[in-house]
Structure 1
Amino acid sequence: MIAKKVAIVTGGSSGIGRATCINLAKEEFHVVVVGTNPERVQQTLNLLEKQTLSQLNPPYIGLTLDVSQEPDMQEMANKTVEHFGRIDLLVASAGVGKRSGSKRFMPEPTASLSLLEWNEIININLTGIFLSNRAVIPVMIAQGVGHIINICSSTTPRGLRGQPYAPAYCASKFGVVGFTESLAAEVSSYGIRVQALFPGYVNTPMVSETALLQRYGGSMSADDVAATVVYLAKQPTEAIVVHPHLIPFTSIK
Protein backbone atom coordinates (compact mmCIF):
# COMPACT_ATOMS: atom_id res chain seq x y z
CA MET A 1 0.00 0.00 0.00
CA ILE A 2 1.52 3.33 -1.07
CA ALA A 3 0.45 6.45 0.73
CA LYS A 4 -0.41 9.47 -1.35
CA LYS A 5 0.63 12.12 1.16
CA VAL A 6 3.25 12.60 3.89
CA ALA A 7 2.21 13.79 7.35
CA ILE A 8 4.36 14.81 10.32
CA VAL A 9 2.73 14.61 13.75
CA THR A 10 4.48 16.24 16.69
CA GLY A 11 3.47 14.86 20.05
CA GLY A 12 2.83 11.65 18.15
CA SER A 13 3.96 9.40 20.98
CA SER A 14 0.79 9.72 23.07
CA GLY A 15 -2.69 11.15 23.38
CA ILE A 16 -4.14 13.14 20.50
CA GLY A 17 -0.90 12.85 18.54
CA ARG A 18 -0.81 9.06 18.69
CA ALA A 19 -4.48 8.77 17.75
CA THR A 20 -3.86 11.16 14.86
CA CYS A 21 -0.96 9.05 13.59
CA ILE A 22 -3.12 5.93 13.58
CA ASN A 23 -6.08 7.63 11.90
CA LEU A 24 -3.88 9.18 9.20
CA ALA A 25 -2.28 5.79 8.55
CA LYS A 26 -5.73 4.34 7.96
CA GLU A 27 -6.19 6.99 5.28
CA GLU A 28 -2.97 5.84 3.57
CA PHE A 29 -0.73 8.70 4.69
CA HIS A 30 2.97 8.20 5.21
CA VAL A 31 3.41 9.19 8.86
CA VAL A 32 6.38 10.71 10.68
CA VAL A 33 5.98 10.25 14.44
CA VAL A 34 7.78 12.92 16.47
CA GLY A 35 8.17 12.75 20.24
CA THR A 36 10.71 13.19 23.01
CA ASN A 37 10.41 9.71 24.52
CA PRO A 38 11.94 7.01 22.27
CA GLU A 39 10.04 4.17 23.95
CA ARG A 40 6.68 5.86 23.41
CA VAL A 41 7.60 6.79 19.85
CA GLN A 42 8.34 3.12 19.22
CA GLN A 43 5.02 2.13 20.77
CA THR A 44 3.25 4.35 18.24
CA LEU A 45 5.28 2.84 15.42
CA ASN A 46 4.31 -0.65 16.59
CA LEU A 47 0.66 0.34 16.37
CA LEU A 48 1.18 1.83 12.92
CA GLU A 49 2.83 -1.32 11.63
CA LYS A 50 -0.48 -3.09 12.15
CA GLN A 51 -1.97 -0.78 9.50
CA THR A 52 0.19 -2.13 6.66
CA LEU A 53 0.59 -5.59 5.18
CA SER A 54 4.09 -4.98 3.88
CA GLN A 55 7.17 -4.59 6.04
CA LEU A 56 9.26 -3.54 3.02
CA ASN A 57 9.87 0.20 3.04
CA PRO A 58 7.27 0.80 5.78
CA PRO A 59 5.45 4.10 5.32
CA TYR A 60 6.18 5.19 8.91
CA ILE A 61 9.24 6.55 10.66
CA GLY A 62 9.83 7.74 14.21
CA LEU A 63 11.99 10.69 15.28
CA THR A 64 12.98 11.40 18.87
CA LEU A 65 13.07 15.20 18.80
CA ASP A 66 12.04 18.17 20.95
CA VAL A 67 9.70 20.76 19.41
CA SER A 68 11.19 23.50 21.61
CA GLN A 69 14.66 23.04 20.10
CA GLU A 70 15.40 24.79 16.81
CA PRO A 71 17.97 22.24 15.50
CA ASP A 72 15.56 19.39 16.28
CA MET A 73 12.78 20.91 14.21
CA GLN A 74 15.09 21.53 11.28
CA GLU A 75 16.21 17.91 11.56
CA MET A 76 12.56 16.85 11.55
CA ALA A 77 11.94 18.58 8.23
CA ASN A 78 15.23 17.43 6.69
CA LYS A 79 14.80 13.76 7.62
CA THR A 80 11.21 13.71 6.41
CA VAL A 81 12.22 15.06 3.02
CA GLU A 82 15.21 12.70 2.86
CA HIS A 83 12.96 9.71 3.56
CA PHE A 84 9.75 10.60 1.71
CA GLY A 85 10.67 13.45 -0.61
CA ARG A 86 7.99 15.90 0.53
CA ILE A 87 5.85 17.20 3.40
CA ASP A 88 2.13 17.53 2.77
CA LEU A 89 0.77 17.89 6.29
CA LEU A 90 2.04 18.97 9.69
CA VAL A 91 -0.14 18.27 12.71
CA ALA A 92 1.43 20.17 15.59
CA SER A 93 -0.06 18.51 18.66
CA ALA A 94 2.84 18.47 21.13
CA GLY A 95 1.80 20.22 24.34
CA VAL A 96 2.00 20.23 28.12
CA GLY A 97 -0.20 21.57 30.90
CA LYS A 98 2.37 21.79 33.68
CA ARG A 99 6.04 21.29 34.39
CA SER A 100 7.47 17.88 33.56
CA GLY A 101 7.80 15.70 36.62
CA SER A 102 5.29 17.73 38.61
CA LYS A 103 3.19 15.61 40.99
CA ARG A 104 0.63 18.34 41.64
CA PHE A 105 -3.00 17.43 41.02
CA MET A 106 -3.71 21.06 40.08
CA PRO A 107 -1.36 23.42 38.21
CA GLU A 108 0.36 26.16 40.19
CA PRO A 109 -1.60 29.39 40.79
CA THR A 110 -0.03 32.50 39.30
CA ALA A 111 1.24 33.79 42.65
CA SER A 112 3.45 30.73 43.11
CA LEU A 113 4.13 29.82 39.47
CA SER A 114 7.88 29.60 38.92
CA LEU A 115 9.61 31.13 35.91
CA LEU A 116 11.00 27.65 35.19
CA GLU A 117 7.49 26.19 34.84
CA TRP A 118 6.23 29.20 32.86
CA ASN A 119 9.12 28.92 30.42
CA GLU A 120 8.73 25.17 29.95
CA ILE A 121 5.03 25.46 29.10
CA ILE A 122 5.53 28.44 26.77
CA ASN A 123 8.55 26.84 25.09
CA ILE A 124 6.71 23.64 24.24
CA ASN A 125 3.19 24.91 23.59
CA LEU A 126 3.97 28.14 21.74
CA THR A 127 7.62 28.25 20.69
CA GLY A 128 7.27 24.62 19.63
CA ILE A 129 4.42 25.57 17.31
CA PHE A 130 6.53 28.36 15.81
CA LEU A 131 9.61 26.19 15.31
CA SER A 132 7.77 23.18 13.87
CA ASN A 133 5.69 25.36 11.52
CA ARG A 134 8.67 27.39 10.38
CA ALA A 135 10.69 24.24 9.66
CA VAL A 136 8.19 22.86 7.15
CA ILE A 137 7.16 26.11 5.45
CA PRO A 138 10.13 26.32 3.00
CA VAL A 139 9.42 22.76 1.84
CA MET A 140 5.73 23.51 1.32
CA ILE A 141 6.49 26.76 -0.50
CA ALA A 142 8.79 24.88 -2.89
CA GLN A 143 6.05 22.30 -3.47
CA GLY A 144 3.40 24.95 -4.01
CA VAL A 145 1.07 23.15 -1.61
CA GLY A 146 0.88 22.15 2.04
CA HIS A 147 -1.33 22.04 5.10
CA ILE A 148 -0.63 22.80 8.76
CA ILE A 149 -3.04 22.04 11.60
CA ASN A 150 -2.04 23.48 14.98
CA ILE A 151 -3.82 21.84 17.89
CA CYS A 152 -5.00 24.64 20.12
CA SER A 153 -7.42 24.29 23.03
CA SER A 154 -10.93 25.23 23.97
CA THR A 155 -9.91 26.00 27.52
CA THR A 156 -13.52 25.92 28.68
CA PRO A 157 -16.51 24.01 27.30
CA ARG A 158 -17.73 27.32 25.87
CA GLY A 159 -14.63 28.21 23.92
CA LEU A 160 -11.25 29.90 24.20
CA ARG A 161 -11.21 31.69 27.54
CA GLY A 162 -8.78 32.14 30.38
CA GLN A 163 -9.20 29.84 33.34
CA PRO A 164 -7.82 29.96 36.86
CA TYR A 165 -4.65 28.05 37.76
CA ALA A 166 -3.53 27.82 34.14
CA PRO A 167 -1.94 31.17 33.25
CA ALA A 168 0.97 29.78 31.25
CA TYR A 169 -1.19 27.21 29.46
CA CYS A 170 -3.84 29.76 28.50
CA ALA A 171 -1.23 32.32 27.43
CA SER A 172 0.46 29.72 25.24
CA LYS A 173 -2.76 28.58 23.59
CA PHE A 174 -4.00 32.14 23.01
CA GLY A 175 -0.63 32.78 21.40
CA VAL A 176 -1.09 29.82 19.08
CA VAL A 177 -4.27 31.43 17.72
CA GLY A 178 -2.51 34.69 16.86
CA PHE A 179 0.48 32.91 15.37
CA THR A 180 -1.72 30.63 13.26
CA GLU A 181 -3.78 33.51 11.90
CA SER A 182 -0.63 35.48 11.06
CA LEU A 183 1.07 32.58 9.30
CA ALA A 184 -2.10 31.65 7.42
CA ALA A 185 -2.26 35.14 5.94
CA GLU A 186 1.43 35.03 4.98
CA VAL A 187 1.45 31.74 3.10
CA SER A 188 -2.00 31.37 1.57
CA SER A 189 -0.71 32.70 -1.76
CA TYR A 190 1.70 29.74 -1.91
CA GLY A 191 -1.14 27.24 -1.72
CA ILE A 192 -0.52 26.51 1.97
CA ARG A 193 -3.39 26.22 4.41
CA VAL A 194 -2.76 26.91 8.10
CA GLN A 195 -5.49 26.44 10.67
CA ALA A 196 -6.00 25.84 14.38
CA LEU A 197 -8.23 23.13 15.79
CA PHE A 198 -9.83 23.81 19.16
CA PRO A 199 -10.68 20.57 20.96
CA GLY A 200 -12.43 20.70 24.31
CA TYR A 201 -11.34 18.51 27.20
CA VAL A 202 -9.89 15.29 25.86
CA ASN A 203 -9.28 12.23 28.01
CA THR A 204 -5.51 12.06 27.57
CA PRO A 205 -2.75 11.51 30.14
CA MET A 206 -2.12 15.28 30.30
CA VAL A 207 -5.71 16.00 31.36
CA SER A 208 -6.47 12.87 33.36
CA GLU A 209 -3.65 13.74 35.78
CA THR A 210 -5.29 17.06 36.69
CA ALA A 211 -8.60 18.18 38.18
CA LEU A 212 -9.89 19.64 34.93
CA LEU A 213 -12.33 16.84 34.12
CA GLN A 214 -13.71 16.95 37.64
CA ARG A 215 -14.11 20.73 37.34
CA TYR A 216 -15.75 20.88 33.91
CA GLY A 217 -17.36 17.50 33.40
CA GLY A 218 -17.50 15.61 30.10
CA SER A 219 -14.59 14.86 27.84
CA MET A 220 -13.91 13.40 24.42
CA SER A 221 -11.56 10.66 23.33
CA ALA A 222 -8.33 11.30 21.46
CA ASP A 223 -9.86 9.40 18.54
CA ASP A 224 -12.65 12.00 18.34
CA VAL A 225 -10.08 14.73 17.81
CA ALA A 226 -7.99 12.60 15.43
CA ALA A 227 -11.03 11.94 13.26
CA THR A 228 -11.59 15.67 12.98
CA VAL A 229 -7.94 16.20 12.00
CA VAL A 230 -8.37 13.65 9.21
CA TYR A 231 -11.58 15.34 8.09
CA LEU A 232 -9.80 18.71 7.87
CA ALA A 233 -6.84 17.16 6.05
CA LYS A 234 -9.12 15.67 3.41
CA GLN A 235 -10.93 18.90 2.56
CA PRO A 236 -10.39 20.29 -0.96
CA THR A 237 -7.38 22.56 -1.29
CA GLU A 238 -9.69 25.42 -2.23
CA ALA A 239 -11.52 25.23 1.10
CA ILE A 240 -10.62 25.80 4.74
CA VAL A 241 -12.63 25.45 7.93
CA VAL A 242 -11.97 28.50 10.10
CA HIS A 243 -11.37 27.95 13.83
CA PRO A 244 -13.25 24.66 14.24
CA HIS A 245 -14.24 23.95 17.85
CA LEU A 246 -14.81 20.39 18.98
CA ILE A 247 -16.52 19.95 22.35
CA PRO A 248 -18.17 17.02 24.16
CA PHE A 249 -21.85 16.65 23.31
CA THR A 250 -22.58 16.51 27.06
CA SER A 251 -21.22 20.07 27.41
CA ILE A 252 -24.05 21.49 25.28
CA LYS A 253 -26.88 22.64 27.48
Structure 2
Amino acid sequence: MSMKDRVVIITGASRGTGRATAELFAKHGAQVVLFSRPSPHLQEVEAEIKRKGGRALAIAGDISREEDVEALFQKVRSLYGHLDVLINNAGIVMKRPFVEMDIATWDQVLDTNLRGTFLCCRGAFQMMAAQQQGVIINLSSLSGVKGVEKFPGMSAYNVSKAGIASLTEILAVEGKAYNIRVCVVSPGAVATEMLQQAAPHLKADMTPQNLAEILLFLSDDSGRMFNGSNIELFTNA
Protein backbone atom coordinates (compact mmCIF):
# COMPACT_ATOMS: atom_id res chain seq x y z
CA MET A 1 0.00 0.00 0.00
CA SER A 2 1.17 3.51 -0.75
CA MET A 3 -0.19 6.93 0.07
CA LYS A 4 2.67 8.59 -1.80
CA ASP A 5 1.82 12.19 -2.68
CA ARG A 6 -1.82 11.78 -1.70
CA VAL A 7 -3.35 14.69 0.22
CA VAL A 8 -5.13 13.43 3.32
CA ILE A 9 -7.16 15.46 5.84
CA ILE A 10 -7.41 13.88 9.30
CA THR A 11 -9.69 15.49 11.86
CA GLY A 12 -9.11 15.10 15.58
CA ALA A 13 -5.45 14.62 14.72
CA SER A 14 -3.86 15.92 17.91
CA ARG A 15 -4.10 12.68 19.90
CA GLY A 16 -5.38 9.12 20.03
CA THR A 17 -6.53 7.51 16.82
CA GLY A 18 -6.16 10.74 14.86
CA ARG A 19 -2.52 11.11 15.80
CA ALA A 20 -1.71 7.46 15.13
CA THR A 21 -3.43 7.70 11.74
CA ALA A 22 -1.58 10.87 10.78
CA GLU A 23 1.78 9.35 11.68
CA LEU A 24 1.07 6.13 9.77
CA PHE A 25 -0.20 7.88 6.64
CA ALA A 26 2.79 10.22 6.65
CA LYS A 27 5.11 7.23 6.99
CA HIS A 28 3.53 5.84 3.82
CA GLY A 29 4.18 9.02 1.86
CA ALA A 30 1.03 11.10 2.29
CA GLN A 31 0.85 14.85 2.73
CA VAL A 32 -1.23 14.90 5.89
CA VAL A 33 -3.33 17.87 6.94
CA LEU A 34 -3.92 17.76 10.68
CA PHE A 35 -7.16 19.45 11.78
CA SER A 36 -8.02 19.81 15.44
CA ARG A 37 -8.99 22.33 18.06
CA PRO A 38 -6.13 24.61 19.13
CA SER A 39 -3.78 22.59 21.33
CA PRO A 40 -0.04 22.20 21.93
CA HIS A 41 -0.53 18.55 20.97
CA LEU A 42 -1.43 19.58 17.43
CA GLN A 43 1.93 21.26 16.85
CA GLU A 44 3.68 18.33 18.52
CA VAL A 45 2.20 15.89 16.01
CA GLU A 46 3.20 18.11 13.09
CA ALA A 47 6.74 18.49 14.42
CA GLU A 48 7.14 14.75 15.10
CA ILE A 49 6.00 13.81 11.59
CA LYS A 50 8.41 16.31 10.03
CA ARG A 51 11.24 15.12 12.28
CA LYS A 52 10.80 11.64 10.84
CA GLY A 53 10.89 12.96 7.28
CA GLY A 54 7.16 13.10 6.66
CA ARG A 55 5.01 15.94 5.38
CA ALA A 56 2.41 17.52 7.65
CA LEU A 57 0.44 20.73 7.98
CA ALA A 58 -1.38 21.57 11.21
CA ILE A 59 -4.52 23.70 11.00
CA ALA A 60 -6.40 24.62 14.17
CA GLY A 61 -10.17 24.85 14.12
CA ASP A 62 -13.47 23.52 15.39
CA ILE A 63 -15.24 21.04 13.11
CA SER A 64 -18.64 22.19 14.38
CA ARG A 65 -18.00 25.74 13.11
CA GLU A 66 -18.87 26.19 9.44
CA GLU A 67 -16.38 29.01 8.97
CA ASP A 68 -13.51 26.93 10.41
CA VAL A 69 -14.27 23.99 8.14
CA GLU A 70 -14.61 26.21 5.07
CA ALA A 71 -11.25 27.80 5.90
CA LEU A 72 -9.69 24.32 6.16
CA PHE A 73 -10.82 23.28 2.69
CA GLN A 74 -9.93 26.63 1.15
CA LYS A 75 -6.41 26.21 2.55
CA VAL A 76 -6.08 22.70 1.16
CA ARG A 77 -7.41 23.81 -2.22
CA SER A 78 -5.01 26.76 -2.44
CA LEU A 79 -1.94 24.82 -1.30
CA TYR A 80 -2.41 21.45 -3.01
CA GLY A 81 -5.15 21.87 -5.58
CA HIS A 82 -6.77 18.54 -4.76
CA LEU A 83 -7.85 16.23 -1.93
CA ASP A 84 -7.55 12.46 -2.05
CA VAL A 85 -8.73 11.25 1.36
CA LEU A 86 -10.75 12.60 4.29
CA ILE A 87 -10.62 10.75 7.62
CA ASN A 88 -13.42 12.06 9.85
CA ASN A 89 -12.08 11.04 13.23
CA ALA A 90 -12.87 14.00 15.54
CA GLY A 91 -15.47 13.37 18.21
CA ILE A 92 -16.40 13.84 21.84
CA VAL A 93 -18.31 11.87 24.45
CA MET A 94 -20.25 13.40 27.35
CA LYS A 95 -22.10 11.07 29.71
CA ARG A 96 -25.40 12.23 31.14
CA PRO A 97 -28.38 10.17 32.39
CA PHE A 98 -31.24 10.95 30.03
CA VAL A 99 -33.51 12.05 32.88
CA GLU A 100 -30.89 14.74 33.58
CA MET A 101 -30.07 15.56 29.95
CA ASP A 102 -29.67 19.28 29.27
CA ILE A 103 -29.89 20.96 25.89
CA ALA A 104 -26.32 22.28 26.08
CA THR A 105 -24.84 18.79 26.49
CA TRP A 106 -27.01 17.30 23.76
CA ASP A 107 -26.17 20.08 21.32
CA GLN A 108 -22.44 19.98 22.05
CA VAL A 109 -22.18 16.24 21.35
CA LEU A 110 -24.37 16.36 18.22
CA ASP A 111 -22.66 19.51 16.94
CA THR A 112 -19.19 18.03 17.21
CA ASN A 113 -19.85 14.45 16.21
CA LEU A 114 -22.63 14.69 13.62
CA ARG A 115 -22.67 18.31 12.42
CA GLY A 116 -18.87 18.32 12.30
CA THR A 117 -18.81 15.14 10.22
CA PHE A 118 -21.44 16.60 7.89
CA LEU A 119 -19.51 19.85 7.41
CA CYS A 120 -16.26 18.04 6.63
CA CYS A 121 -17.98 15.57 4.32
CA ARG A 122 -19.62 18.43 2.46
CA GLY A 123 -16.31 20.24 2.01
CA ALA A 124 -14.59 17.09 0.80
CA PHE A 125 -17.50 16.06 -1.41
CA GLN A 126 -17.42 19.37 -3.26
CA MET A 127 -13.68 19.12 -3.95
CA MET A 128 -13.82 15.44 -4.86
CA ALA A 129 -16.84 15.84 -7.15
CA ALA A 130 -14.96 18.48 -9.13
CA GLN A 131 -11.93 16.23 -9.52
CA GLN A 132 -14.03 13.07 -10.05
CA GLN A 133 -12.34 10.96 -7.38
CA GLY A 134 -11.78 10.64 -3.66
CA VAL A 135 -12.22 8.59 -0.50
CA ILE A 136 -14.10 9.58 2.65
CA ILE A 137 -13.88 7.43 5.78
CA ASN A 138 -16.06 8.31 8.76
CA LEU A 139 -15.55 7.07 12.30
CA SER A 140 -18.67 5.89 14.06
CA SER A 141 -18.87 3.41 16.95
CA LEU A 142 -20.53 0.19 17.98
CA SER A 143 -22.53 2.51 20.25
CA GLY A 144 -24.38 3.60 17.12
CA VAL A 145 -25.00 0.09 15.76
CA LYS A 146 -28.41 -1.52 16.24
CA GLY A 147 -28.48 -4.57 18.49
CA VAL A 148 -25.14 -3.96 20.20
CA GLU A 149 -25.13 -3.53 23.99
CA LYS A 150 -25.74 0.07 25.05
CA PHE A 151 -24.62 1.80 28.25
CA PRO A 152 -26.50 4.32 30.43
CA GLY A 153 -25.69 7.98 30.00
CA MET A 154 -24.64 7.69 26.36
CA SER A 155 -27.83 8.77 24.56
CA ALA A 156 -26.37 11.83 22.81
CA TYR A 157 -23.24 9.95 21.79
CA ASN A 158 -25.19 6.94 20.51
CA VAL A 159 -27.52 9.10 18.44
CA SER A 160 -24.61 11.05 16.95
CA LYS A 161 -22.78 7.88 15.94
CA ALA A 162 -25.89 6.29 14.43
CA GLY A 163 -26.34 9.48 12.43
CA ILE A 164 -22.80 9.26 11.09
CA ALA A 165 -23.45 5.71 9.86
CA SER A 166 -26.67 6.81 8.16
CA LEU A 167 -24.96 9.82 6.56
CA THR A 168 -22.24 7.53 5.21
CA GLU A 169 -24.80 5.23 3.62
CA ILE A 170 -26.43 7.96 1.55
CA LEU A 171 -23.12 9.62 0.65
CA ALA A 172 -21.88 6.33 -0.76
CA VAL A 173 -24.93 6.30 -3.04
CA GLU A 174 -24.55 9.92 -4.16
CA GLY A 175 -20.79 9.61 -4.49
CA LYS A 176 -20.87 6.90 -7.15
CA ALA A 177 -21.56 9.42 -9.92
CA TYR A 178 -18.35 11.24 -8.98
CA ASN A 179 -16.15 8.21 -8.24
CA ILE A 180 -16.18 9.12 -4.54
CA ARG A 181 -15.95 6.13 -2.21
CA VAL A 182 -17.43 6.51 1.29
CA CYS A 183 -17.42 4.03 4.16
CA VAL A 184 -17.68 4.09 7.94
CA VAL A 185 -15.75 2.23 10.62
CA SER A 186 -17.53 1.40 13.88
CA PRO A 187 -15.00 0.23 16.47
CA GLY A 188 -15.74 -0.99 19.94
CA ALA A 189 -13.35 -0.15 22.75
CA VAL A 190 -10.12 1.50 21.61
CA ALA A 191 -7.39 2.32 24.14
CA THR A 192 -7.65 6.13 24.02
CA GLU A 193 -8.09 8.95 26.52
CA MET A 194 -11.71 9.22 25.41
CA LEU A 195 -12.35 5.63 26.46
CA GLN A 196 -10.75 6.29 29.84
CA GLN A 197 -13.08 9.25 30.34
CA ALA A 198 -16.22 7.46 29.21
CA ALA A 199 -15.61 3.96 30.59
CA PRO A 200 -12.47 3.73 32.76
CA HIS A 201 -13.35 0.15 33.74
CA LEU A 202 -12.83 -1.09 30.17
CA LYS A 203 -9.46 -2.46 29.07
CA ALA A 204 -9.41 -2.40 25.29
CA ASP A 205 -7.44 -4.82 23.12
CA MET A 206 -7.47 -2.46 20.14
CA THR A 207 -4.92 0.36 20.09
CA PRO A 208 -5.04 3.57 18.03
CA GLN A 209 -2.26 2.09 15.89
CA ASN A 210 -4.37 -1.00 15.16
CA LEU A 211 -7.24 1.19 14.02
CA ALA A 212 -4.92 3.40 11.96
CA GLU A 213 -3.77 0.34 10.00
CA ILE A 214 -7.38 -0.45 9.12
CA LEU A 215 -7.98 3.14 7.99
CA LEU A 216 -4.87 2.98 5.81
CA PHE A 217 -6.09 -0.20 4.13
CA LEU A 218 -9.52 1.32 3.47
CA SER A 219 -8.04 4.53 2.06
CA ASP A 220 -5.82 2.70 -0.39
CA ASP A 221 -7.10 1.10 -3.59
CA SER A 222 -7.10 -2.19 -1.67
CA GLY A 223 -10.25 -1.00 0.13
CA ARG A 224 -12.21 -0.18 -3.02
CA MET A 225 -14.80 -2.92 -2.41
CA PHE A 226 -15.98 -1.34 0.84
CA ASN A 227 -18.02 1.51 -0.62
CA GLY A 228 -21.05 2.11 1.60
CA SER A 229 -19.91 -0.46 4.15
CA ASN A 230 -20.24 -0.05 7.90
CA ILE A 231 -17.26 -2.00 9.19
CA GLU A 232 -18.02 -3.12 12.73
CA LEU A 233 -14.98 -3.92 14.84
CA PHE A 234 -15.72 -6.09 17.84
CA THR A 235 -12.80 -6.38 20.26
CA ASN A 236 -12.35 -7.90 23.67
CA ALA A 237 -12.42 -5.51 26.61
**Distance across 1 between alignment mates of 2:105 and 2:96:** 9
Q: Give 1:71 deviation, angstroms.
A: 1.0
Confirm or deny that 1:10 pairs with 2:6.
no
CA 1:132–1:156 in structure 2 vs 1: closer, same or farther (change >3 Å)? closer
Confirm or deny that 1:93 pairs with 2:89.
yes
Match of 2:25 in 1: 24
Say which of 145, 162, 173 aligns to 1:185.
173
TM-score by length of 1: 0.86
CA 1:11–1:160 in structure 2 vs 1: closer, same or farther (change >3 Å)? farther
Equivalent residue of 2:230, what SS? coil
TM-score by length of 2: 0.92
Note the alpha carbon deviations across 1:178-232, whole angstroms, 9 max, x for none. Answer: 111011111112100011011111111111123x252x55341111111100011
Q: Give 1:155 deviation, angstroms.
A: 2.2
Match of 2:191 in 1: 203
Equivalent residue of 2:83, what SS? coil
Of 26-35 and 153-162, deviating more is: 153-162
Q: Unmatched 5+ residue regions in structure 2?
A: none
Asked whether the equivalents of residues 122 and 169 of structure 1 are also in contact (C-alpha less than 8 Å), the reply is yes
| Structure in which a larger fraction of residues adopt helix | 2
Match of 1:102 in 2: none
Q: Give 1:60 deviation, angstroms.
A: 1.2
Note the alpha carbon deviations across 1:99-140, whole angstroms, 9 max, x for none. Answer: xxxxxxxx2100112110110000000000000000111110
Q: Unmatched 5+ residue regions in structure 1?
A: 53-57, 99-106
Say which of 218, 233, 236 aligns to 1:246.
233
Confirm or deny that 1:81 pairs with 2:77.
yes
Q: In percent, how many aligned pairs have the same letter?
A: 28
**Distance across 2 between alignment mates of 1:186 and 1:158:** 24
Q: Give 1:158 deviation, angstroms.
A: 9.7
Match of 1:151 in 2: 139
Asked whether the equivalents of residues 7 and 85 of structure 2 are also in contact (C-alpha less than 8 Å), the reply is yes
CA 1:188–1:157 in structure 2 vs 1: closer, same or farther (change >3 Å)? closer
CA 1:156–1:191 in structure 2 vs 1: closer, same or farther (change >3 Å)? closer
Note the alpha carbon deviations across 1:82-115, whole angstroms, 9 max, x for none. Answer: 11221000000000001xxxxxxxx210011211
CA 1:181–1:158 in structure 2 vs 1: closer, same or farther (change >3 Å)? closer
Match of 1:50 in 2: 51
Confirm or deny that 1:129 pairs with 2:117.
yes
Confirm or deny that 1:175 pairs with 2:163.
yes
Asked whether the equivalents of residues 201 and 213 of structure 1 are also in contact (C-alpha less than 8 Å), the reply is no
**Distance across 2 between alignment mates of 1:111 and 1:91:** 34
| Equivalence map 1:208-219=2 (5 Å) | 208-210=196-198, 212-214=199-201, 217-219=203-205
Match of 1:119 in 2: 107
Match of 1:41 in 2: 42
| Equivalence map 1:55-70=2 (5 Å) | 59-70=55-66
The aligned length equals 234
Moved over 6 A (4+): 156-159
